[in-house]
Amino acid sequence: HLFHRAYQVVPAPTLAIREADALVKLGRLVEARETYSRVSQSRVDDESPAAFRLAVKRAAVELRNLDPLVPRLTVTLHPDDLATARVLVDGKVMDVAEYGRAQRIDPGKHHVEVFDGTGRLVFERSVELAKGDHEAVVAVLEEPPNLPRSSTQQTIGWTSLAVGGAGAAIGITTGLLAAQHRGNLEEQCTNDVCPPSAQGDLDAYRSLRSASFVGYGVGLAGLGLGATLLLTSGVEDAGAKSESAGIRPWIGPRSAGLGGRF
């Protein structure tokens, strides 16, 4: 980028803020936010050129206005899968420390993939985020198919219970964390107006609240489906044709569940 190269030669705030402005127009909001942040922290004093001082002040304003518009994506895994699973977002590997935490991401379509310890793709989902969107993806890992019918139904039943329990646990945990951040916001905000210093708590509260809703949805669906499958696993329909069994989790922005065919 022209302004970026120029800034590397002459690290002037006026060049960096033009780079940030260009990145915003290109839809690269994450990089733009980082650049505005860097400019806003530039050291200037009364002896600095007036243009430099104005650039630093404007960068702080632009950063404050842009930050709420940068989408956030949270990918959550069951604790038992953290050690072996590998998560890719748009082909890039996520750091384990980023699991369950809202990550800034540019607007547009993004693809989430999860691979197990053997390298097998066990979960994938595409999401499309607009400016200001907060999306939570709870990765429910699938079990290998092709088991006998009766065994499959019982296996899926127990798996559904496990998934439901994990979803409920995630819902409870993220709900408690969201409540903690909400308490912090109530102390810092007045009449729903929060200072810039509360942005971290606000982002965390929104992401954790979304993850909690999804976790509870997966939990209720998994527990209900699992109980039904286990209770009916011994019932056979002699006249029914044999069909392949399968289970498929579905997750929406504010809802989630498990679907199956047996």
- List, for residues 100-151, the tens digit of each pLDDT value: 899 999 999 999 999 988 899 999 999 999 999 999 998 877 665 554 555 6
Q: Say what the pLDDT of residue 199 is.
A: 78
Q: What is the pTM of this model?
A: 0.52
For residue 31, what pLDDT band results from cuts at 50, 70 and 90? very high
Q: Say what the pLDDT of residue 259 is.
A: 47
Alpha helices, DSSP H only, in the chain?
2-9, 13-25, 29-40, 50-66, 149-188, 199-232
- Contact call for residues 129 and 71 (beta carbons, < 8 A): yes
Residue 257, pLDDT > 90, answer no
Q: Which amino acid is at 113?
A: E
For residue 254, what pLDDT band results from cuts at 50, 70 and 90? very low
**Whole-angstrom distance, CA of residue 125 vs CA of residue 135:** 12
The residue that leads in pLDDT, 64 or 47, is 64
Q: Which amino acid is at 27?
A: G
Q: Say what the pLDDT of residue 243 is.
A: 44
The percentage of the chain sitting over the pLDDT mark of 90, rounded to a whole number, equals: 34
DSSP state of 193: B
The percentage of the chain sitting over the pLDDT mark of 70, rounded to a whole number, equals: 74
Residue 155 tokens read as 């296996």
Characterize the bridge pairing of strands 246-251 and 134-139.
unpaired
Q: Say what the pLDDT of residue 30 is.
A: 96
Tell me the mean pLDDT in the region 215-224. Answer: 72
Residue 242, pLDDT > 50, answer no
Q: Say what the pLDDT of residue 221 is.
A: 76
Summary mean pLDDT of the chain:
78
